[in-house]
Amino acid sequence: MRRDAWRDGLACLVLLSGLALGGRELAGLGPWFHLKTVIVFGAAFGWVLHGLAAHAPHQRFGAANRVTLVRLALVALLAAGIGEAFADRDALAWAAVAVATTAALLDALDGPLARAQGAASAFGARFDMETDALLVLVLSVLVVRFEKAGSWILAAGLMRYAFVLAARSWPWLARPLPPSTRRKAVCVLQITALIVCLGPVVSPAWSARIAAASLAALGASFALDIAWLARRRRETA
């Protein structure tokens, strides 16, 4: 399983490296863009290897996790764009929209693929969720960077991590939540809204409204989950 993960990780790294080098030349990005892409992906892949034991008893990394790994590589490509100078603001924004949209569309593939192949696991579910969380964080930073919303939209990207940190002080927050269509729908809504905000055809006035509405939906979803956990914090796990 670990050997499969390394093989797929290295294949993604080679593909990602080529995309980063090509993007740097075409978009006139800085000399550090390629290195930033590799560092972000390498750090994230280290986390993947650290949690791989939760994929047991499966003996292979699996096609579904491979799809999620490609999504993670695309998120790393987006993350490397943070802080880059705008040689062509609109072209860079459209490139970000294209990469983010591809990552979002692939999200509809990994879950059904894992279930169809009987390869679903706690690791796969967590891998998918954390990749989504990182995508939201990166997109929210890019929305601020492109001046499509105020810095308040960073709350969308930081909410998941604040929740995880809070669970260290209040362990009842770490209890498993039941499956929720609402939670999945809000996640898709948040990612879609942030991608729309990045589009050059959307004015800052409208992108701020869209971002605010999606943030309100995300906040309400977290509040509902916290309330559910609070009601059951005295129950035996």
Residue 82 lies in a domain: yes
- Domain boundaries, position 100: 2-231
Residue 142 lies in a domain: yes
Residue 200 lies in a domain: yes
CA 190 to chain centre: 11
* pLDDT of amino acid 235: 67
* pLDDT of amino acid 44: 93
* CA distances to 23, 70, 73, 154, 225 from 100, in Å: 15, 12, 11, 17, 27
Residue 81 lies in a domain: yes
Tokens 């080098």 belong to residue: 21
pLDDT band at 229 (very low <50, low <70, confident <90, very high): very high
146: CATH: 1.20.120
Rounded to whole angstroms, the Cα distance separating 68 from 79 reads: 16
Model confidence at 191: pLDDT above 70: yes
Residue 54 lies in a domain: yes
Task: Kindly report the pTM of this predicted structure.
Answer: 0.92
Count up the domains in the chain and report the number: 1
Residue 237 lies in a domain: no
Residue 236 lies in a domain: no
Average pLDDT over residues 1-5: 87
Average pLDDT, the chain: 89
Classified as helix, coil or strand, 147 is: coil
